[in-house]
Amino acid sequence: MRTRLICLLGCLTATMLVLPARGQDTGAASTAAATDPAPQGGGAPTAPQPLPTPSMGGALSTAVPHTFDAGPFGKVAVTGILSGMGWTENNRIPIPGQSPTHWDVSNAQVFLQKTDGWFQFYLQGGAYNLPALGLPYLSTSDTIKNLYGPFPQGYLKLVKGNTSFQIGALPTLIGAEYTFSFQNMNIERGLLWAQEPAVSRGIQINQTLKKLSLSVSWNDGFYSNRYTSISGSAAVALNGSNTLAFVASGNASAYDKNTLATPLLLNNEQIYNVIYTYSHESWIVQPYVQFTNVPTLPRVGIPKGAKTSSGAFLFTYKFKNGTSLAARPEYIVTNGSPAAGTANLLYGPGSGAFGFTVTPAYTKGGFFVRADIGVVHATSLVPGAGFGPAGLNANQTRGVVESGFMF
């Protein structure tokens, strides 16, 4: 989805007619066990604790896991989510077959995992929607069909000391926002997320060295099924509350595939992040900057490349009564012009966009309800590439409500 739906409803419409956790999960830290062991010296086991996978970056938290004995696999933990959402907006970008008013399942997923021993695994399956600010709505059924299928993430993990190896469908290392709505501060992902990969198939190596966590992945980038992309992350824990991460990814070989899951331009890009995270008591604060470069590659259909520069400031404050407030101001700008034939990574070559999202939320036990109010203002808009049926509007305001249960 991302500059996916605009870049794709733009690259597929032009090719047919042609139609973007820190990154997700470094995986470098050891995963906690589903149930803490008995303390040394005897005594009863401590109470089960929420699992760190899937990673959570906002006011919501995963439920306490249900564990069972899986024979040769040992203890296996199960958690899940069931949630729905409603959606309204002005200056809608119409998609054939999609209703102007949307009510849909946002998540109906189950997470099955083994988190102790040298052999571990993680399996995620079910229904999901990936709403993103400034992009057209895509129904949950079409999201599953056109993106990552009913099993979007899952991998085997081999652990020895501070080193681990993962292989499978992996969460990306790129960016400060996670793939699925329940993992993030806001319901919708932002403008920067629209330039980033979400799920990549491949292998990842993680190493922890005191305060330094390193991850390197060889994968298929934007779900291209061609294993030519390399990504890496280096995160330094400055102290118990502050972390600084440097993240980068690039495709070592040009590829002309162009689908919703594998947008031509983004799959051939290089992308760089610098991400700072502060998490202490009631506050989560996460500013980051991002730079991308799509090179000129005429042989795969990119006659003139393009670049983006962007930044976002994400934060959440948790009040003591189960309520919280999250906000995300962000800005992105691209280079080039239509006259120069520059590739379109946003709302036309040379355009920019400011986005602001605010999300109040309420949680009690496994129940949650929250709402997004988001606005996007496009700058240097190229007519036909903006909002509204004719693509002439520079502004869009959107409201989204999501409610459900973590179990």
pLDDT for residue 101: 76
Q: What tokens appear for 382 in the block?
A: 């190229």
Task: Place 2 in a pLDDT band, splitting at 50, 70 and 90.
Answer: very low
Mean pLDDT calculated for residue range 144-163 = 97
Mean pLDDT calculated for residue range 343-369 = 97
**Per-residue pLDDT for 17 more than 70?**
no
Query: Which neighbouring-strand residues pair with 276?
Result: 244
* DSSP letter (8 states) at residue 239: S
Which tens digits make up the pLDDT trace of 221-275?
999 999 999 999 999 999 999 999 999 999 999 999 999 999 999 999 999 999 9
**Per-residue pLDDT for 9 more than 90?**
no
pLDDT for residue 398: 95
Mean pLDDT calculated for residue range 143-157 = 97
Mean pLDDT calculated for residue range 115-138 = 95
Mean pLDDT calculated for residue range 174-178 = 97
Mean pLDDT calculated for residue range 384-394 = 95
The owner of tokens 């629209």 is 194
3-class DSSP state of 12: helix
Which tens digits make up the pLDDT trace of 267-318?
999 999 999 999 999 999 999 999 999 999 999 999 999 999 999 999 999 9
The owner of tokens 């992040």 is 273
Mean pLDDT calculated for residue range 10-19 = 34
3-class DSSP state of 69: strand
Is the sign of the CA dihedral 128, 130, 131, 137 positive or negative? negative
Task: Place 38 in a pLDDT band, splitting at 50, 70 and 90.
Answer: very low
Maximum Cα–Cα distance across the chain: 74
Task: Place 26 in a pLDDT band, splitting at 50, 70 and 90.
Answer: very low
Task: Give the whole-angstrom CA distance, residue 191 versus residue 188.
Answer: 10
Long-range pairs for 364-368: beta carbons < 8 A, 24 or more residues apart: 364/322, 366/63, 366/405, 366/406, 366/407, 367/403, 367/404, 367/405, 368/59, 368/60, 368/83, 368/402, 368/403, 368/404, 368/405, 368/406
pTM (global) more than 0.75: yes
The more confidently predicted of residues 22 and 128 is 128
User: Options 3.40.710.10, 3.40.50.300, 2.40.160.10, 1.10.1040.10; which CATH number does 3-30+51-406 get?
Assistant: 2.40.160.10
C-alpha pair distances (Å), 54 with each of 122, 268, 337, 353: 9, 28, 40, 30
Task: Place 8 in a pLDDT band, splitting at 50, 70 and 90.
Answer: very low
Q: What is the mean pLDDT of the chain?
A: 88
pLDDT for residue 25: 53
Task: Place 98 in a pLDDT band, splitting at 50, 70 and 90.
Answer: low
The more confidently predicted of residues 15 and 382 is 382
Mean pLDDT calculated for residue range 208-233 = 97
- Distant-in-sequence, close-in-space partners of 276: CB < 8 Å, separation ≥ 6: 242, 243, 244, 245, 286, 287, 288
**Per-residue pLDDT for 103 more than 80?**
yes
pLDDT cut 70: percent of the chain above it: 87
pLDDT cut 90: percent of the chain above it: 80
pLDDT for residue 97: 66
Task: Give the whole-angstrom CA distance, residue 54 versus residue 113.
Answer: 10
Distance of CA 16 to the CA centre of its chain: 28
Domain ranges of the chain: 3-30+51-406
**Per-residue pLDDT for 327 more than 70?**
yes
C-alpha pair distances (Å), 390 with each of 49, 55, 138, 384, 393: 51, 39, 19, 6, 8
Strands 323-334 and 352-364 come out as: antiparallel
In this structure, the dihedral spanned by the alpha carbons of residues 364, 60, 284 and 208, taken in order and rounded to 10 degrees, is 130
Task: Place 12 in a pLDDT band, splitting at 50, 70 and 90.
Answer: very low
Task: Place 48 in a pLDDT band, splitting at 50, 70 and 90.
Answer: low
